Amino acid sequence: MNETLALPMRLVMRDLMLTAFAQKGRLFLIFFCVMAISAAIAIYIQPDYKARSSLLVLLGTEHSFRPAAGQQFMNTGGVDAEQVLRTETSILASDDLHRSVIRDIGIDKMYPKLLEQPGPVEKWLIGTRRYLTDLLGLTDEAVGTTAADPMSRAVDAFATNLTVTLDKKSSVIGVDFTNPNKNVAADALRILETQYLVLRQKLYGDIQAPLVQAQQNGVAKQLAAADGALQTFKQQHDISNFGERRAVLLKQQGDLEAALTKSESTIAELTARLNQLNQQLGLAAGAKKGAANPAVALQGMVQEYQKREEDAQTRYRGSPAVDEARRQMLERQTDIARMQATQAYGVQTDRNKTEADLRANLAGHDIIAGQLGALNKQVDTLDAEESNLHGLERNRAILEDNYKAISKILDERQTVEAVEAHRESSVRVVQPPRVPSLPQPTRRLILLAGFIISVLFGIGSILMAHFFRAIYLRPEALEMDTGLIVLASVPEMRGLGGPTGSVLVVPA
């Protein structure tokens, strides 16, 4: 390598031009080869068509806090627009969304080459790559199976062909998709946007009505069970209404207590009457303590008359005056006895009637007392079961209130979800995808790249030929390299120096 760069710039540039002129054949060959390869690649590559679309993202209620059903809405502040745009972009870049688009269009229509059998070179490359991965221990059977799946490769190709650009200032998302078939490119972008809107509605959809409906059904079952338990309890204990049953029992209890009091009063009156009649019957019979019945009193009177008659016969026998007196006395005594007997029979009859009434009232008193005791037991039992009845009624009331509250929440939730379902999406299509009329300038770019590469290769060959040549084009360069003085130079002659010429060098 010589010291050409140490010369003035004008001389260096002149030397480079001379080198380029000397190497013009090589430059032409490089340019022709590179451009030929570029043209072959441009002809072999099929041009792609790019379909374009844009989406306007507005801030909607789906981007804010949404409380659970029945809870009060809480204002959590503003929504980060940049975060919303990133979320929408992530949904557009979802592999599942891309997979569904590919299924709708078909792999054979979008990427037919993925279904073709690999050629020998491709098989050799695949085998080599698999051998190297096995040798390095990087083989994963699941990954290898997925990579061999045409759908997985189609999803990867779809993600490569899809371009999503985000404009944060205008809240617009640009979507581009390239494919060799212009109709497929437009259809893929159209289906992508349609399914994207469906997917985001599903993701942002706040569907809580089925959950509230399930809660309502559960509370309805509990309420029906509580109603059944309450009705069964009332049927088993013969209670149609606790208040009415209690009022009826208390009324019956009051009536029986009044009847019992009246019976006791009647019994007391009859007992006093019976004692009085017993005394009257005793006086009528001439006994101090009374007699059991009039026959006993009359028997006593007859015995007294017989005794007196015997006394009269023994003491006053044979005297007319005595007989007359005795007869009169007997008549008076007979009248008195008759009067006493009549009075005794009347008292006895009244006593018997009073005694019968007393027995009847005693029997009625016992019956009333028994009925009152049974009724008191029913009242005590009803009081004991009152807590259970109130517990069942309270449980039913609570469940009924819960059912009403959940039904109200369900109605409100169904109304809200119905409005949300019919509301327009917050993402609007600004520019729908259209079939592109012109392909992508891929071939022109390849030819331009080939031209640039050929120029770079030519410049590189010129520089290499200039800096690594074995001769000197100028005496000044030779003097700088050798430190000698150049006396003369031989002009360019084919016989001496060839096409580049030569220089004669002598010692100073």
Distance CA 56, CA 439 (A): 26
pLDDT of 1 reads 45
| CATH code of the region 232-421 | 1.10.287
Distance CA 500, CA 467 (A): 14
Between 74-78, 345-349, 439-443, the lowest mean confidence (pLDDT) is in 74-78
Instruction: Band the pLDDT of 478: cuts 50, 70, 90.
Output: low
Distance CA 58, CA 152 (A): 33
3-state secondary structure of 205: coil
Whether 145 has a pLDDT exceeding 60, the answer reads no
In this prediction, residues 407-436 reach a mean pLDDT of 81
Collect all residues with Cβ–Cβ distance below 8 Å to 250 and sequence separation of at least 6.
Answer: 379
Whether 476 has a pLDDT exceeding 50, the answer reads yes
* Residue written as token pair 């972008």: 189
Whether 40 has a pLDDT exceeding 50, the answer reads yes
pLDDT of 393 reads 81
Whether 298 has a pLDDT exceeding 70, the answer reads no
- Cβ-based neighbour number of residue 201 at 10 Å: 14
pLDDT of 508 reads 44
3-state secondary structure of 150: helix
pLDDT of 100 reads 92
Q: Bridge partners of 55? A: 173, 429
CATH 1.10.287 intervals, the chain:
232-421
pLDDT of 500 reads 47
Higher-scoring residue by pLDDT: 158, 507: 158
In this prediction, residues 462-483 reach a mean pLDDT of 66
Instruction: Band the pLDDT of 240: cuts 50, 70, 90.
Output: low
Instruction: Band the pLDDT of 192: cuts 50, 70, 90.
Output: very high
Higher-scoring residue by pLDDT: 66, 90: 90
Most confident of the ranges 209-213, 307-311, 322-326? 209-213
Between 218-232, 342-356, 388-402, the lowest mean confidence (pLDDT) is in 342-356
pTM of the model as a whole: 0.54
Cα 424-428-433 angle, rounded to 5 deg: 130
Answer positive or negative: Cα dihedral of 348, 352, 354, 355.
Answer: positive
Question: Are the C-beta atoms of 440 and 49 separated by less than 8 Å?
Answer: yes
Whether 259 has a pLDDT exceeding 50, the answer reads yes
Instruction: Band the pLDDT of 317: cuts 50, 70, 90.
Output: low
